[in-house]
Structure 1
Amino acid sequence: MLRLSLLLLLLPCSSYSMLLGWVESPGYPMRYLPHASLNWSRCAPKGQTISIRLIHLDLENSQDCENDAVKILSNGNRIAVLCGKKEYEELQDIVNPLLFSSPGGCLTLLFHSDYSNTKRHTGFKGFYTLQDFNECEDDPNNECTQFCHNFIGGYRCSCRHGYHLAQDKHTCTVNCAKDLSGLKRGDISSPSWPESYAEHANCKYTLSVEENLQLELHFSEGFDVEQRPDGHCVDELRIETHSETLGPFCGNKPPPSPLLTYSSHVQIHFTSDGFGTNKGFNLNFKTRDKVCRSVVTSNSKVTPLKQEYHRGESVTVTCDLGYEVNSEENEAILTQYETTCQSTGVWAPSYPCEIVDCGLPYIGANSILQVVDGQNTKYNSQIKFYCSSEYYTLDGNDTYTCNANGEWTSVDGNAGMPKCNEVCGMPETDPTTTGRILGGSKAKPGEIPWQLLIKSPKRGGASLINDQWAVTAAHVVEGIRADFLELYGGLIDGQSANISPIRITKIITHPSYSTAPPSKTQTNFDNDIALIKFTSKVKLGPNLLPVCLPEVNRGVSENEQGTVSGWGATIVNDRERIKTKFLQYVHIPVYSLAECMNTPYTPSNEAMTFTNNMFCAGGEGMDSCHGDSGGPFVSPFLSSGGPHYLIGIVSWGSNCLEGAGKGKKKGYYTKVDNYVNWIKKTINEN
């Protein structure tokens, strides 16, 4: 009975306290052994706390309690580390007031002893209790704005007379929501006007009248809504219409009076915080006929310009520069329209002025487009064009801007998009030695990258003029179906098996080229030119590049030096004719017109025809030969540097093998500058 009485004296005085149990060290009260330990933990329900009150503590004393110790934690955070011997009064006054959990939290006690005790220590003993947490007194964040009432496990809030609890069950506010729809006159004021308005007010006043009327607000003197020193509103008044929000208003300066809302439906909002003694506001509302405002739509202006317009008045709406009328009725870009003020205070018709969008432009082949302003293609945005590889060059400006007409224009104001054209006539390696087709040395890779080889059905040559077209002699491809033609590019070894043929989709011979009847030898090679179109674009590279076309009517000059190339026949030991395996080339001069007109005869003693569409060239022991037909004659000659132009196509000539490669040779070539217009027109149409 004496022990129980002592325990009751130790309990706290709270009427909500109740004893839950004891906690003590292993072996208490005799002694605890070395390497003893205890891990104890309890948790409190919501709205309550758990505490430990030690009545005895006798442990080995050590520096920072590193030997034997009791550690007490609240929700994992250490609140006490104890060791040594403490008297009962010290425990009660200093230690025990610290040993409690947070509301709804957990309390943990950890005890351990080391390997030895030099003296006998009895350990510790305490009891733990569960107590109600008084949120009203001990929790400054209980959220009740007026009255707080505590109960076991929680609390509740209540309000003074004239207030009610909001939905959060903590905030006391006033009931100041009013629907005044249908009234054409009246007064609205903050709660308790002209006395200080209530804290935590959240008022909404609704006004609604006929569509042809508008509400106007007249504020009385004494406007007083709490405002911070920096001008920002603490409490605020806002006025919302169907099209805009006016405010917030605060301080001592009322809104302009009368305040024209231009609307038949208005909501007035007033909110306050939990502090302050300001008076608030008072206003009188009434109605008047609606008028139209001077702004029909954004990004535009109206003419004639007035502050307001009455029913039946019309204006012209003109969109700002770079904006257009968004009307589904018109596909073309419009920048202005007529509109009329209606009795309801709105303009009809009314179309928005939206920023002009040029859209993504057409990107030609081999072009890369970069939008400078992210993905924005609207007025004043910029785009840049690049070519896809070093083997193309940009024809036109690289930077374009979206103008007010919805068109992309270059920085110098020119319309139209740039193109990526093939780099032509610029081999990466020019020959440094002079070879010969008749017994000459072979070309190196990349020296004549426009040279193409026709293997079948007839052996001949062709020249690459862009990434999808080649030009050759008409007599090389006459009567041949496109899918039967074997055409190769990017090689110097004519017998290479590592390169696939270029697929052909179309062969177009010049319409004025004519062949001889089957029973006669052909003596007229006028207009000996044809175009070859590939199924798809070839990939350009150092060994496959186009040659340049000459200017129209460029002409060919006597003694002009050029280079002719091909896989035609060559001479071995000055007498034997063979088909060369490797690409050959030779530099030869152009002959005079008189020399060219002195044409050879056929075996049947018929003179060959020379026309203005031809020229001839050759040299001592140097000329094109059998199998070179359709191949290129370029100027300037290769070792002189580029760009190189295709001025001739190997067409016909004297017997290049007569005289075993000795003496003056003469070959005839189609004069390409006479056909540049036909070439470009044919390519554009096909």
Structure 2
Amino acid sequence: MHGRTDGRTNGRRNMRSPCLLMLLLLRLLPSLGPAPTATATETTRLTGVFGSLASPRFPAPYPDDTPRRWELAVPVGFRVRLYFSHFDLEPCDSCQCDHVRVEAGDGSGGVALLGLFCGGREAESESAPGAEALLSPADALVVTFSSDFSNPEEFSGFVAHFHAVGGCRAGRWDVGVNRGLTLVLLPSRDVDECADGDVEEDAACDHLCHNYAGGFYCSCRRGYLLHADNRTCKAECGGRTFSERAGWLSSPHFPSPYPKSSHCSDFIRVPEGLKLRLRFDPAFDVEDHPEAVCPYDYVKIRTASGELGPFCGRRSPGLVPVDANAVVVVFHSDHLGENTGWRLTYTSEEAPHAAVDCGAPTAVDGARATFVGRDNSTRFGAVVRYVCDDARRQIGPGDGEYRCGPDGLWVHLTAGTQLPSCEPACGRPSRPLAARVKRVVGGRAAEAGNFPWQVLLSVEDSGRVPPERRFGSGALLSDAWVLSAAHVLSARRRGAVAVPVDPRHVKVLAGTLDRRTEGGVSAARVLLHPDFRPADFDNDIALVRLSVRVELGAAARPICLPPPQGDAPAAPPDTLGAVAGWGAAGTEGAPDLLRFARLPVVAQDECRASYAGGGYNVTDNMFCAGFRQGGRDTCPGDSGGAFAVPDPATGRWAALGLVSWAGPEECGARRVYGVYTRVDRYLDWIRRCQEAD
């Protein structure tokens, strides 16, 4: 949560008697006792004479399904003035999707709606807040932000600022009472440094200026950071790597003036055997000095053999000779100046040994080799990429990209000269989830192709008398293997040692939404993790080897395994995952058709705290997901299903976790999170089981 307050006060003692009487009466009110500085996780209380707030994760795009609330309180006797310096939310009719609501009041009594806002990206957006500020009728405002279940694109959110105005007039001072029952005095005739320009140039704000009674502060537009001098805005720049054989880069915002107090380092790296050529555009404007060499702003080119530059002034350096395939371009600016900057283009040419020719790439069954580049060159440094002909299969190892090496052989970065192959594609839904998914308590119905890895497990535990029948979920890893939870596939017997159910009594139904569908495939083997503990569900993971391979297609496709995370969390908090199943929801019983919900990962500390004192053990092999307020969760019958998360780079879905257990309360209850097995902890075990088969 973002927020900042400042409680600085200034004052004198001379007041008019009516104002003094009013304030003395206010001191007697018990409701004005000490107020907490923070409430629950979703709410932040901001007090003082000024402050600011921003949407979650700003300046990064805000997450889906994230409510936040700010309670703004200025000293009693003053009013709150609120305005937005940045606003970019999803546009929606009547702001029914993502929105910011501003209400008068502190939430303890009646409130009055002052504004409901959304949109803002379009200049003519009528639902976004305008330049006019909002003014509270009293000393408190409540700002509520809400994002819905899913956005079709990313939106950056908002930044808002507030300060105290008005107050009881007493001579040259406006007077109020703060939450600590002490007097607050602010000058009645304040100098607006932001509007009047009554500030020295070295102290003026670089981007945005925010006035309050007795002072002012600065902030920056999105994409910039406030410098340590609290007035200059520096750019978030550098860290890029350019690897194409030709391209360009420039100072930030070229040809507009570049930001102050910034230091950027970018890398250009082309394949070995190529040599770079760098050329600055004729339009070159970097602050210089008539008597010193680039003391303020400059551009430098660094190579393995030395440094070229610094370059500054209005004369372009033109062609910069470098005898290397990799350089670092460094740009530095100080805290003053309004220069427009520079632009650099680069090309690469073959080094003398580039006459090596690797010839046509070797043919691979079910795949075709495509050249990366326009000339279909097979000489040194050329790149080909293998792509599977069947969209249901994917190339391996890695991305299937091979480069012509100095020995005349096509070489993969990690696999060397080993040829690629086409394997069943994982994590590719044949029908992606809808871009607009609204909140539905208990989840919503899945469509065919949303979760092609989902399987229904029907288990008959013959070790019980009478035999027990139950069902759960699993996820296809291939056409022959299913991943699930160990507690779904273990015989329910007394004792600390878990025993798998008889494979002949396990039926696996893939490629269907309806659990009433007849048929299915029997299991050939059931493998529980050897360290599974039924007492606390630690290491709750299992594999099923099918007796007959599943026919893969649009309805049945495997899910990917996640990358290893080591000691890091399974995923950052608030990462959204999707869980599907046929689990019972309340008193309605188990649904016949597959349903799903999107749930956020919960911070591990909050996960453990929610189960503290109940005798539950949340181990490092587990993580939590769900909403603090409840409303959506996994339920009995969902066990063993995958907590699936898409890779933002490739769009492929991986099984981050498996539905394992939850507290005794009704599923979907407040602060009762679902607990999931961390799949990345068991990648070696999964591989060994599959290879030993």
TM-score of the alignment, normalized to the shorter chain, above 0.5: no
TM-score when normalising by structure 1:
0.38
Question: Normalized against structure 2, the TM-score is what?
Answer: 0.38
Larger radius of gyration: 1
